[in-house]
């Protein structure tokens, strides 16, 4: 039976340490401040930014919210990002995705100053990650790596399979795992006979948004499984991309949903804000 990776508990420990860091910064007259931009009325996005606000309040980070209408033009959004880039009191900027279809999210990410890009989506940070240089790593992959380190899950020379190739999780996670000396394979919607690939893996990370996709017959005994998926079922319950009850009987480690990757994503965002504040106030 698998050991459950307690993302919620680890995230709490990280937030407690960050709170001490923020207290030290405030003694030096430095007040970390974080700005979130939300365009439109996406209900899930509203929940996400509410959770970010709550985490900021807990740690002592000042939080500012910029709510833009659905019909906001690209120029208006870029002007706001410019204003926040030039505001020396703002240490971190986050643009909540998804954006309305009339807006170009990649152009917006390019506009955010890479030194304030606490989500790790500016091309400069993406490039630095690929080159193995110090940068802001996107928060979900960063959180996954922290869980792997905390539970001492071996990566060196191990076969890691990522299911999902998004810019937010799959692609940055390749670089993170390569830096831990894993042999990385990425699978996606066009991958043929995916179960042959996953059965050979020492680590499987699912980030595809398909409820209970990963079944017990798709993994080998002793595999470590990290489930990034958050899927709301018809009965209102949240489930991951992994058939938890069955896969946990074969796995050595497994993350639950909820309580696994989700809390770590927000903890690593807070970590990035504190890191940005320190670097801007050297």
DSSP 41-100: --HHHHHHHHHHHHHHHHHT-EEEEEEE-TT--HHHHHHHHHHHHT-TT--EEEEPSPPP
Q: Report the chain (282 residues): mean pLDDT per 10 consecutive residues.
A: 97 98 98 98 92 97 98 98 98 97 97 98 98 97 98 98 96 98 97 97 96 97 97 89 98 97 97 98 92
Q: Is 52 marked active-site?
A: yes
Q: Is 96 marked active-site?
A: yes
Q: Is 175 marked active-site?
A: no
Q: Under the phi-then-psi rule, with left for phi > 0, alpha for psi from -120 to 50, and beta for the rest, what region is 259? A: left
Domain 28-115 has CATH 3.40.50.10860: yes
User: Which residue out of 21, 117, 119, 241 is catalytically annotated?
Assistant: 119
CA distance 257 to 269: 19
User: Which residue out of 6, 21, 33, 96 is catalytically annotated?
Assistant: 96
Closest CA to 111 of 139, 90, 138, 85: 85
Contact by Cβ (8 Å): 141, 169? yes
What is the per-residue pLDDT for 234? 85
What is the per-residue pLDDT for 8? 97
Pick the CATH number of 139-262 from 3.20.20.70, 3.30.420.40, 3.40.50.460, 3.40.50.720: 3.40.50.720
Contact by Cβ (8 Å): 185, 208? no
CATH 3.40.50.10860 residue ranges of the chain are 28-115
DSSP assignment of 179-234: HTT-EEEEE-TT-SSHHHHHTT-SEEEE-S--TT-B-GGGS-TT-EEEE---EE-T
Closest CA to 168 of 200, 140, 148, 133: 140
CATH 3.40.50.720 residue ranges of the chain are 139-262
User: Which residue out of 52, 111, 128, 275 is catalytically annotated?
Assistant: 52
Cis peptide before 64 (omega within 30 of 0): no
What is the per-residue pLDDT for 139? 98
pTM reported for the whole predicted model: 0.96
**Locus of tokens 């996953």:** 198
């Amino acid at each position: 039976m698998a050991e459950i990776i307690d993302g919620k508990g680890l995230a709490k420990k990280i937030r407690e340490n960050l709170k001490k860091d923020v207290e030290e910064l405030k003694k030096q007259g430095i007040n970390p401040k974080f700005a979130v931009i939300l365009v439109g009325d996406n209900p899930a996005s509203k929940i996400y930014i509410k959770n970010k606000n709550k985490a900021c309040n807990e740690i002592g980070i000042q939080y500012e919210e910029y709510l833009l209408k659905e019909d906001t033009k690209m120029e208006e959004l870029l002007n706001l990002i410019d204003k926040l880039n030039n505001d020396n009191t703002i240490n971190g900027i986050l643009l909540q995705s998804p954006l309305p279809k009339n807006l170009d999210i990649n152009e917006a990410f390019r506009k955010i100053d890479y030194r304030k890009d606490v989500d790790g989506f500016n091309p400069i940070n993406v490039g630095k990650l690929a080159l193995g240089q110090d940068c802001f790593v996107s928060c979900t992959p960063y959180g996954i790596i922290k869980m792997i380190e905390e539970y001492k899950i071996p990566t060196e020379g191990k076969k890691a399979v990522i299911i999902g190739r998004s810019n937010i999780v799959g692609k940055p996670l390749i670089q993170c795992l390569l830096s831990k000396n894993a042999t990385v394979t990425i699978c996606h919607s066009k991958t043929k006979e995916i179960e042959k690939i996953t059965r050979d893996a020492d680590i499987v990370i699912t980030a595809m948004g398909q409820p209970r996709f990963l079944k017990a017959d798709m993994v080998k005994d002793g595999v470590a499984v990290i489930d990034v998926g958050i899927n709301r079922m018809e009965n209102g319950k949240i489930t991951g991309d992994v058939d938890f009850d069955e896969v946990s009987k074969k796995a050595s480690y497994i993350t639950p949903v909820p309580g696994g990757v989700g809390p770590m994503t927000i903890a690593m965002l807070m970590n990035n804000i504190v890191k940005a504040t320190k670097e801007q106030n050297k």
